[in-house]
Amino acid sequence: MILIKAWYRFTGLILKWFYRVVFGGGFHYGKRFHMRRAFQLTVENGARVTLGDDVFFNDFCALHARKGITIGDGTIFGENVRIYDHNHRFADPSQPIKDQGYTEAPVTIGKHCWIGSNVTILKGVTIGDNVVIGAGCVVAQDVPSDVIVRQDVKLSMEEIRR
């Protein structure tokens, strides 16, 4: 197990270096940022991706930015999380969707959040601090701080403690 973890750390360092070279000023990360196997990052059109200190991505996570994605300190991600700050336009039925361009809005995720496995976060969403997003959720609306979201139900930490 130690060898596997060492391998992930080593390949993660190479991937961080590669992304810094490819995306230059569009990709910034804090201390102790770590990602596991098959992390994907795209930064297009002058977008900026900023990750705080102690951010962790588990296997097969992806960030796709055309505008901007910001993630606060201490936030952790389960496997297969997807974050998109853009979406296809589809209003004109006379044109193929792929030719209609995109709508874009930045995504912001606060500090010390836990984003569960297989979560998708869509454009324009702001997630507060200390939020837990349950596995399999699609987040298309803002989420205030200190809330647990599970399958379209928001519960405050106060409600959970009762």
Residue with tokens 């080593």: 10
Question: What CA–CA distance (Å, rounded) separates 125 from 123?
Answer: 6
Domain regions of the chain by residue span: 2-161
pLDDT, residue 115, reads 98
Is 30:55 a contact under the CB 8 Å cutoff?
yes
pLDDT, residue 152, reads 59
pLDDT, residue 117, reads 97
pLDDT tens-digit readout, 8-44: 888 888 888 888 888 988 999 999 999 988 999 999 9
Question: What CA–CA distance (Å, rounded) separates 1 from 134?
Answer: 28
Is 64:42 a contact under the CB 8 Å cutoff?
yes
Residue 71, pLDDT above cutoff 80:
yes
In the structure encoding, which two tokens stand for residue 162, read together?
A: 């009762």
In the structure encoding, which two tokens stand for residue 123, read together?
A: 């454009």
Residues with a catalytic annotation lie at: 88
pLDDT tens-digit readout, 85-126: 999 999 999 999 999 999 999 999 999 999 999 999 999 999
Phi, psi of 67 (to 5 degrees): -125, -65
Question: What CA–CA distance (Å, rounded) separates 51 from 105?
Answer: 17
pLDDT tens-digit readout, 136-159: 999 999 999 999 998 856 656 666
Residue with tokens 């810094």: 20
> CATH assignment of 2-161?
2.160.10.10
